[in-house]
Amino acid sequence: MTSDVLTLLKLDLRQSFRPSSVKGKRSEKRSSFRRLIPLVALGSFVIGISLIIVLVGPRIWSYVEGAVISDPGLGATIFNAIVLFAFLSSIMVSATTVGNSAKMEYLLVMPVSMRSIFLEKTVLVVLYNSILWLTIGIPIFVGFSLISAARLALLSAPLFVFMTLMLVSLGVSLGGLIGLIFTRLLAGRRALKQVGYFVLSGGAIIFSAYWYYSIYYGDSGGQVFEWLINLARSLGFSSNITPGYAASVLSLGLLVGLPLTVQDIVLALAFALSSFALLRANSILSERAHYSGWLAVGSKRSSKKLVPVLHPMWAPRAIPIAATNTTIGVSIWYNITSVRREARVLSQYLLGPVRIVIWIVLPIFAVGEQSLVLTPYLLAVALIPFAISYGVYFAGYEIVYEGKNLMNLQLAAANMEDYVKGKIYSALPFTLGATVVFSIIIAFLSQSMLIYLPAIAASSLFVTLASGAIAANAAAIGGDFKAERMILRQRGSAAQMPIRGWSILRAQFAPMLLGFGGVSLMLAVGFFFNPLFTYLVLPVFSIVCLQIMKTYAHGAGVKLAQIEATKYL
Amino acid sequence: MIESLGLTKTFSEFTAVKDLSFKVEPGEIYGLLGPNGSGKSTTMKMLLGLLRPTSGTARIAGHDIINDVVAAKRVMGYVPEEPVLPERLTGWEFINYVADIWRMPRGSQRQQDIEELLTLLDISDASNDLIETYSKGMSRKISLVAALVHRPKILILDEVQAGIDPRGAATIKEILNGLRSKGATILMSTHILEIAEELCVRIGIIKDGSMIAEGTMDELRMMAEGQRNLEEIFLALTGGPDMQRIAQYLRGSGESS
C-alpha cells in the first residue's frame, strides 16, 4: 500500500511542480522565470526568516529559552491553531474528492486499492496544508537550534516537521471524516444538503474570522479553545492533553534541552497514532462513499417512471430594472442561478469578505483605545470589501467559470459587453443586502454616521459596478478559462486562482484602491467640512465609477469576443 | 475470461442493469451493443470494479470483482468512452507512470514497447506534449496506449474508435484482431455497427439494462427474421427511428438557411 501511495503522490506532485520546461511543440513554453518563481519566492522567504533569526536570535534567545523552560506548553496555542486551520479548510475535501472521482477514472482502474487512492489524495492535502507552517517553522527551529546549547537541539527541527505533519493530518482527516459523515446523513436530500453546505461553509468563515479576532484581543490567542479545554476539564482531563501541547512540549522542550517525560512522549505517540488511524478511516469511508453512491449527482439519476416534463415559459429576468436587453437579462439570470445552486460557493462569495474586513479593521483596533475615534469610519468602510468582493466574484471569477460556454456565446455572436454587464449587475442585489445589514449595525452602534448612511449605501453600489468591470477585464486578459469552480481543483489537486499572474493583482487591488480611496475621500470632506460636501462628492464618484464600468466592461467584452477556443476547450 | 453473473445495478429507484449474464471467452471479441442509456457503460464500470453491483457478481480471469478487485484490475486494460487523463503530464510521462503502477520493469525494453505503441498510433510526435493540449482523438489514442502497455489478457473498450481518424481506426482494428488471435479476451461497446459486425465474434444487445439478444451474427439474423446486416437487426430488436415525428419536424423547419 505504501509504495502505491508513494507512486500516486509522485504523479500528483509531478503535475503541480514542473521545474523544467515541456519539450513538446504543442505545449506552451514557460520561461525559466515563470517556472522557478514559486521556488525562488519560497527560498527567499526561508532565507529571509533565517537571516532574521541569525541577526535577532542571539539577542532574544535568553528570553525565548527562559519562557520555554518556565512553560514548555507555550506554543500549544499556535500548534493547536494548526490543527484548527487544517480542520476548517478540509471539511469538504474528502467529500469533494469522492464526488469528483469520475475525474480520476484513469486512477481508479489501476491495480491499486481504492483506499490507497483516497489515502494519497488526503496525504496530498496534508502536504499542501503543511507547506506554510513548515516554511515558517523550519528556519526558526534550525536558527534557534544553532544558537541553543542543548545537546539534542538540532533534532528539534525534524521533530517539528513530524509534529506539524501529525497536527495537520489530524485536522485534515477529522475535517474530511466530518464532511463524509455529513454527506452520508444528507444523501439524496438536495435542498437540505445545500442549506447544510451553506451553514457549514459560512460557519467555517465566521469561525476563522473569530480566530483572527482572538489572536488580536486574547492574552494568548487561545480563547477559541477555551470551551474545548473547559469541556475536557469537566470530563476529568487536564488542559495539557491537546495535540498542540504535545507538539509544543516535545519540539520546544528539545530545543531548550528540557528533559522529556514519558507521559509527554506517550501523549505525542497517541496523537500520532490517532492521526494515522484517522487518515486510514478517511480512506475507508471515502471508498464506501464512492461505492455506495452517497455523492452521486442527483441530476445523473433517471426517474423510474416516465414523467412528461412541462417547461414553463422561458423569461429569465432576475432584476427587471437592470435588464435593458435580452443578453443582459439572460446573463444576470444565468449568473445568479449557477451560483445559487452551489451553496458552498454562495457562502464563500457572500461571507468570504468577512476575512478581508477582519484583516483590515482589527490591526487598527489592536493599536489601542486611541483608535476608538476611528470606529465610526471603520464601520462605514467595512462595507467596502463586501461591495468590491461581490463585483470581483460575480463578474471576475464567474466570467472565467463560463469556460466552454464561451463557445456558445461566441457562436451566437452574443454582445459580450452586455453579457459582462449582466454579470456585474447580478452582484448588485447582494451588495444591497450587505448595505442593509451594515446600515442596521451602523444605526445601532454609531448614530453619528447616520447622516452619511445614504451616501455610503449608494457609493457601495457604484463600487460594485466598477469593481466588477475591472475584475471582468482582468479575467478576460489573464483568466484560466479551463478552471473549475471548486475549492480544490482536481488537476493535480492544486489550489489555483481562476485569474492568474498580474491580472489577479489588478482584479483585486485596483477595486480596493478605488473603493477605499473614493469612499474615504467622500467621508473625509464630510468629517472635516460639512456632511453636505459628502453628497456633493457622491455624484462625481458615481460618475467616475460608471465611466470605469463602461470602459472596462467594453474592454472585457471585446477581449472575450476575440478569445481563442484553445483557451477554454 | 470475463463472466458476468447476474449483474444488477440500481440507482435509487432506477435499475440501470438488470440481472445481466454473459461470458466472453479467451480469443474472442464480444460486442456489447445497445441504445444510449441502455446500461453498457454501467456494466463495464461494474466489470472494472468502479461500481459495485447491487446484486450478482462477475469474474475476471477467475478473480471476483467484489472480493478480489485489485487482482482483477491487474489483468485488465480499459479505454473509457471519454478519457479523463492527468492533463499536466506529458503523454510519455503518463504512459511510464501507468507502467510503474503495473510494476513493469524499467529499462530499454519498456521504453521500446512504449515507443512502438506510440508510433503505431501516430502520437509519438506529441508524446512530449502536455495531455491538456491533445485533441479528443489523441486523448483516446494515448488512453489506448495506456491500456495496452502492460500487455493485458483482458481488454474492455468503450467506444474505442469514436473520434479516431481512419488510419488510426484501421490500426486499432488490426491490433484488436491480432490480440484476439493471440488469445486475448476483448469486450467492446460501439455505436459503429459496421465495426461490431466486422470485428466481433459474438454480440450482445442490451436494452433498458437487460440482454434482449445474444449470439453470433448468424444467430442474431435468425432472431430478427428477414434482416441481413447488424444495423437492420439492431433496429428491428431495439426499435427504429420515429419517421412520423421526423417528418413533422422537417415540415416545421421549412427551408434551411
pLDDT for the residue B174: 93
Q: What is the DSSP letter of B206?
A: E
Residue contact A110–B98, C-beta within 8 A: yes
Scan for cell 476563522, then name that residue.
Answer: A208
pLDDT for the residue A486: 60
**Are A255 and A67 within 8 A, CB to CB?**
no
**Partner A, chain B 124-153, Cβ-Cβ below 8 Å:** 125-130, 132-133, 143, 146
pLDDT for the residue A498: 83
pLDDT at A149 over 80: yes
pLDDT for the residue A172: 92
Residue contact B84–A103, C-beta within 8 A: yes
ipTM: 0.87
- Nearest chain A residue (CA) to B90: A22
Across the A/B interface, how many CB contacts are shorter than 8 Å? 102
CA distance to partner chain A, nearest, from residue B50 (Å) = 7
| pLDDT tens-digit map of A72-123 | 777 787 888 888 888 877 877 888 888 878 788 888 999 999 999 999 999 9
Backbone angles phi, psi at A208, to 5 degrees: -65, -35
Distance between CA atoms of residues A438 and A468, nearest Å: 21
Longest alpha-carbon distance in chain A? 80
pLDDT for the residue A468: 96
**Are A386 and A512 within 8 A, CB to CB?**
no
* Class of residue A429 by CB neighbours under 10 A (exposed 0-12, middle 13-18, buried 19+): middle
pLDDT for the residue A299: 46
Name the pLDDT band for B158 (thresholds 50, 70, 90).
very high
Per domain, the residue ranges of chain A are 58-295, 326-567
Q: Which fold has domain B2-75+152-253?
A: Rossmann fold (3.40.50)
Residue contact A491–B14, C-beta within 8 A: no
**Are A109 and A499 within 8 A, CB to CB?**
no
Name the pLDDT band for B114 (thresholds 50, 70, 90).
very high
Distance between CA atoms of residues B205 and B214, nearest Å: 6
B78-106 average pLDDT score: 90
**Are B76 and B24 within 8 A, CB to CB?**
no
**Are A10 and A107 within 8 A, CB to CB?**
no
Q: What is the DSSP letter of A31?
A: P
Name the pLDDT band for A194 (thresholds 50, 70, 90).
confident
Mean pLDDT of chain A: 82
**Are B98 and B146 within 8 A, CB to CB?**
yes
Q: Inform me whether the C-beta atom of residue B66 falls under 8 Å from chain A C-beta atoms.
A: no
Which residues, listed in sequence order, are joined to residue B186 by a DSSP beta bridge? Answer: B29, B155
Q: What is the DSSP letter of B88?
A: T
C-alpha cell read off for A10: 509522485
Which residues, listed in sequence order, are joined to residue B11 by a DSSP beta bridge? Answer: B14
pLDDT at B185 over 90: yes
Strands B28-33 and B185-189 come out as parallel
pLDDT at A493 over 50: no
Distance between CA atoms of residues A24 and A152, nearest Å: 50
Report chain A's C-alpha Rg in angstroms: 26
Q: Strand order in B63-64's β-sheet?
A: B14-24, B2-11, B55-60, B63-64
Q: Give the residue ranges of DSSP H helices in A71-189.
A: 76-89, 93-99, 105-108, 114-147, 156-185
CA A300 to chain centre: 29
Which region holds residue B61: left if phi is over 0, alpha if psi is between -120 and 50, else beta? left
pLDDT for the residue B132: 86
Q: Inform me whether the C-beta atom of residue B88 falls under 8 Å from chain A C-beta atoms.
A: yes
Strand runs labelled E in A213-342? none
Strand runs labelled E in chain B? 2-11, 14-24, 28-33, 55-60, 63-64, 76-79, 154-158, 185-189, 202-207, 210-215
B181-195 average pLDDT score: 92
Q: What is the DSSP letter of A401?
A: T
CA B49 to chain centre: 15
Q: B85 contacts in A (CB within 8 Å)? A: 106
Between residues B155 and A70, the one the model is more confident about: B155
**Are B129 and B123 within 8 A, CB to CB?**
no
Distance between CA atoms of residues A458 and A479, nearest Å: 30
Nearest by CB: B130 against A22, A103, A105:
A22
pLDDT at A231 over 60: no
Distance between CA atoms of residues B82 and B93, nearest Å: 20
Between residues B184 and A486, the one the model is more confident about: B184
| pLDDT tens-digit map of B3-56 | 999 999 988 778 899 999 999 999 999 999 999 989 999 999 999 999 999 999
- C-alpha closest to that of B139 among B188, B96, B83, B187: B83
Dihedral sign (CA A367, A368, A370, A375): positive
Nearest by CB: B133 against A15, A26, A296:
A26
Residue contact B126–A24, C-beta within 8 A: yes
CA A196 to chain centre: 19
Nearest by CB: A112 against B78, B83, B101:
B101
Backbone angles phi, psi at B242, to 5 degrees: -85, 90
- C-alpha closest to that of A498 among A383, A398, A430: A398
Other CB atoms within 10 Å distance of the CB of residue A15: 19
C-alpha cell read off for B4: 458476468
Residue contact A26–B129, C-beta within 8 A: yes
- C-alpha closest to that of A79 among A282, A194, A225: A225
pLDDT for the residue A371: 59
Question: Which range, A46-50, A81-85, B114-118, is most confident?
Answer: B114-118
Residue contact B89–A15, C-beta within 8 A: yes
Lowest mean pLDDT among A153-162, A359-368, B90-99: A359-368
CA distance to partner chain B, nearest, from residue A568 (Å) = 11
Q: A110 contacts in B (CB within 8 Å)? A: 73, 98, 101-102
Nearest by CB: A108 against B50, B102, B132:
B50
- Map A311-337 to HEC letters: CCCCCCCCCCCCCCCHHHHHHHHHHHH
pLDDT at A491 over 50: no
Residue contact A15–B71, C-beta within 8 A: no
Q: B125 contacts in A (CB within 8 Å)? A: 25
**Are A558 and A415 within 8 A, CB to CB?**
no
pLDDT for the residue A237: 45
**Residue of A9, A10, A106, A108 to mutate when probing chain B, most B C-beta within 10 A:** A106
pLDDT at A378 over 50: yes
Residue B73 neighbours by CB under 8 Å, 6+ apart: A109, A110, A111, A112, B48, B49
Scan for cell 504512459, then name that residue.
Answer: B95
Q: Inform me whether the C-beta atom of residue B243 falls under 8 Å from chain A C-beta atoms.
A: no
- C-alpha closest to that of A71 among A248, A227, A229: A248
- For chain A, which residues lie within 8 Å of any Cβ of chain B, measuring from their own Cβ? 4, 7, 10-11, 14-16, 18, 22-27, 102-106, 108-113, 188, 291-293, 296, 301-304, 482, 491-492
pLDDT for the residue A376: 72
Other CB atoms within 10 Å distance of the CB of residue A161: 17
Distance between CA atoms of residues A145 and A142, nearest Å: 5
| pLDDT tens-digit map of A33-44 | 777 777 788 888
pLDDT at A223 over 60: no
Distance between CA atoms of residues B73 and B77, nearest Å: 8
**Are A123 and A279 within 8 A, CB to CB?**
yes
- Nearest chain A residue (CA) to B39: A302
Helix, coil or strand: residue A124: helix
Nearest by CB: A22 against B102, B125, B128:
B128
Which residues, listed in sequence order, are joined to residue B149 by a DSSP beta bridge? Answer: none
Q: Give the residue ranges of DSSP H helices in A17-113.
A: 32-70, 76-89, 93-99, 105-108
Distance between CA atoms of residues B198 and A312, nearest Å: 47
Of all residues in chain A, what percent carry a pLDDT higher than 90? 30
C-alpha cell read off for A115: 483506499
Compute the 3-state secondary structure of chain A and give helix, strand, coil in percent, each to the nearest 5: 80, 0, 20
| pLDDT tens-digit map of A383-434 | 899 999 999 999 999 999 998 899 999 999 999 999 999 999 999 999 999 9
| pLDDT tens-digit map of A425-472 | 999 999 999 999 888 888 887 777 888 889 999 999 999 999 999 999
pLDDT for the residue B25: 94
**Are A399 and A476 within 8 A, CB to CB?**
yes
Residue contact A104–B84, C-beta within 8 A: yes
| pLDDT tens-digit map of A503-515 | 888 998 999 999 9
C-alpha cell read off for A373: 475615534
Mean pLDDT of chain B: 90
B164-186 average pLDDT score: 92
Residue contact A105–B50, C-beta within 8 A: yes
Longest alpha-carbon distance in chain B? 65
- Nearest chain A residue (CA) to B88: A15
- Nearest chain A residue (CA) to B78: A109
pLDDT at B211 over 90: yes
Distance between CA atoms of residues B30 and B180, nearest Å: 10
Distance between CA atoms of residues A251 and B51, nearest Å: 46
| pLDDT tens-digit map of A532-549 | 999 999 999 999 999 999
Distance between CA atoms of residues B183 and B28, nearest Å: 7
- C-alpha closest to that of A383 among A346, A430, A331: A430
